[in-house]
Amino acid sequence: MSEQIAYLNGEYLRLEDARVPVLDRGFIFGDGVYEVIPVYAGKPLRLAAHLQRLARSLAAIKLPNPHTDEEWAQLLAELVKRHPWADQSIYLHITRGVAPRNHAFPAVTKPTVFMMSGPLKLPSAEERSAGVRTLSLEDFRWQRCDIKSIALLGNCLLRQAAVEAGCKEAVLFRDGWLTEGAASNIFVIENGTLLAPPIDHLILPGITYEITLELAHQHGMPVKVAPISEAQTRQADELWLTSSTNEVLAITELDGHPVGSGRPGPAWRQMSEWFEAFKRDLRSGAEGVASAGVTRAGAPVEAALAGTPAAG
């Protein structure tokens, strides 16, 4: 693989040479937030939505945004330019910086800003044609899964349990209700309707989730955003997982049982075609979804949290 370049606090350097002091609060407390932004033919997918979600995560942890959206766009473009791959995956990470170890925030903060890019690794042809296996698990993470926090131990433990069971992803339930995957959002197809769990404080407002719903609306696939029970999930005709690095992938097995026919279903094949067309438009510079440019990531969370004791 070609050499990976990192951006760290204003400098570009070889990824293997990038260093952060051990007292960085990201290292000590996991005190930071991140984004993963796919890049197709040099063009970041829904950059405005990713930056809006980043701003939301930063505000939620009371960390001032170190850059304007224009500055972020320039930094990202520069990082992309320094790598040879047409399709890349950018990892962007901001921590509260270096300070003596103390749970409360330091009086003065100099955030650590780190970015790296690698070739975009999408699911294999085999995973796309056969779908993937999943394991259901109780979602034992915290109550602010809407924040894209770098503190991902819960997600790592859940993903690892799935991997140890020979699965690609965990499907998480909290008190009998579907939340999401360890690093993905989950959709259900029931009698031809696309069901999605509502965006609230218990799931990440995925950019791919948003695009999937937009594509369904645009093409007239019936959509219902409402809480989904574990029983509904287990009886689904189809299950999908979505994320920036998986796009839309069919889940064909849950806990060793086939989902629907046990093969990627007709609704998934349709969505997959719409997603491919959407990517073609992005590559050619004309994003195809009607509401492209309208960035809503996180806005529904604000609405969901407004007025609840968990708010703020």
Nearer to ligand PDD, 17 or 138 (CB): 138
In the complex, the smallest distance separating the C-beta of residue 99 from ligand PDD, rounded to whole angstroms, is 26
Taking the least distance from each CB to ligand PDD, the nearer of 243 and 295 is 243
Binding piece for ligand PDD, criterion CB under 6 A, among 78-86, 100-108, 119-127, 181-189: 181-189
Q: How far is CA 277 from the centre of its chain?
A: 21
- The CB-of-227 to ligand PDD minimum distance in angstroms stands at 17
Q: Which range, of 127-135, 206-214, 254-262, 271-279, touches ligand PDD by CB under 6 A?
A: 206-214
Q: Is 184 in the site for ligand PDD (CB under 6 A)?
A: yes
Query: What DSSP assignment string belongs to the chain?
Result: -PPPEEEETTEEEEGGG----TTBHHHHH--EEEEEEEEETTEETTHHHHHHHHHHHHHHTT---SS-HHHHHHHHHHHHHTS--SSEEEEEEEE--B--S-SSPPSS---EEEEEEEE--PPPHHHHHH-EEEEEEE--S-S-TTS-BS--HHHHHHHHHHHHTT-SEEEEEETTEEEEESSSEEEEEETTEEEEPPPSTTS---HHHHHHHHHHHHHT--EEES--BHHHHHT-SEEEEEETTTEEEEEEEETTEESTTSS--HHHHHHHHHHHHHHHHHHTT---STTTT---TTHHHHHHHTTSTT--
Least Å distance, CB 184 to ligand PDD, is 5
Q: Work out whether 212 is an interface residue with ligand PDD (CB under 6 A).
A: no
Considering only the stretches 200-208, 226-234, 260-268, 303-311, report the one whose residues sit in contact with ligand PDD under the rule CB under 6 A.
Answer: 200-208
Binding mask 239-258 for ligand PDD (x = CB under 6 A): ---xxxx-------------
- Which of residues 36, 55, 157, 161 is near ligand PDD by CB under 6 A? 36
Q: How far is the CB of 207 from ligand PDD (least distance, A)?
A: 4
Distance CA 100, CA 231 (A): 49
Taking the complex as a whole, how short is the minimal distance between the CB of residue 60 and ligand PDD, in angstroms? 15
Q: Site for ligand PDD (CB under 6 A): which residue of 120, 204, 215, 236?
A: 204
Q: Which residues are the active-site residues?
A: 148
Q: Which stretch binds ligand PDD (CB under 6 A): 103-111, 127-135, 201-209, 264-272?
A: 201-209
Minimum CB distance to ligand PDD smaller for 89 or for 112: 89
149 binds ligand PDD (CB under 6 A): no
Binding site for ligand PDD (CB under 6 A): 36, 155, 180, 183-185, 204, 206-209, 242-245
